[in-house]
Amino acid sequence: MNSTAQPLIRMQNISKVFLTDEVETRALSGINLEIANGEFVSIAGPSGCGKSTLLSILGLLDSPNDGTYWIHNDEVENLSLSDRTRIRNREIGFVFQAFNLIGDLTVYENVELPLTYRSLGSAERKQRAQQVLERVGMAHRMKHYPSQLSGGQQQRVAVARALVGQPAILLADEPTGNLDSKNSEAVIDLLRQLHADGATICMVTHDPRYASIAGRTIHLLDGCVVEEAVRSDATYS
């Protein structure tokens, strides 16, 4: 990563504590993280180490108890609720382990849905939805419903839905967790292709095979960063 470039995302001393039945669980402790434009970062570690909590904070789905988080040089803590919602809808694309597609909407309608919350005409919405479906190889299934698709196909549609808003960063939470090995490889190959095309990606995974495809891997254990590995051939602007 070029040290003179302003990072897309920056976290400083991020901590998160959950209180349940008067029991305190420290999910994250003193996390420092930067992600540059065009970077592919994986967050790896065993179940319960804080990976998904960190991704939820990155995606503005949750807030830390301590620390500071900047996105596009804006300090998140100082943003209004409406500004956070706007950034989450326009700057961040989400891909979840469980796909989270709406069963009574077609593939096309699922992908178009995020655009209906913007002041875009129907022609532009249609063009964007068709383009991203072609990009993930699912344009030929746009009239199908999620129940008519395999798990791998559903995850491709979920990736298309995340991309349709042209986000600054794609956050993927265990995107292969519900897939067999063949479909897992296909989704990982898709993420590789998207990154090669310039996408910024942050992926949570517990599988070391898939963590290693990223240019940089951050290993978590008990809510702390214990190791950071950079691939020797990784270059970012």
Q: What is the pLDDT of residues 91-104, one digit of tens each?
A: 999 999 999 999 99
Band (pLDDT 50/70/90 cuts) for residue 236 is very low
pLDDT digits (tens, 9 = 90+) for 17-75: 998 887 888 999 999 999 999 999 999 999 889 999 999 999 999 999 999 999 988 89
pLDDT for residue 138: 96
Taking all residues of the chain, what is their mean pLDDT, rounded to a whole number?
91
pLDDT at 98: 92
**Residue 41: per-residue pLDDT:** 96
Report the pLDDT averaged over residues 131-158.
Answer: 96
Give residue 208's pLDDT. 87
* Statement: residue 112 has pLDDT above 60: yes
Structural domain boundaries in the chain: 37-60+91-230
| 141, pLDDT greater than 50 | yes
Q: Given its phi and psi angles, is residue 201 left (phi above 0), alpha (psi -120 to 50 degrees) or beta?
A: beta
Q: Class of 37-60+91-230 per CATH?
A: alpha beta
Q: b/e string for 79-99 if b means 16 or more Cβ within 10 A?
A: beeeebeebbbebbbbbbbeb
pLDDT at site 4: 46
SS3 106: coil
User: Per-residue pLDDT averaged across 3-14, rounded?
Assistant: 83
Residue 199 has pLDDT above 90, yes or no: yes
Q: Are 175 and 154 in contact (CB under 8 A)?
A: no
In this predicted model, what pLDDT tens digit does every residue of 178-187 receive, in sequence order?
Answer: 999 999 999 9
Tokens 């849905």 sit on residue: 113
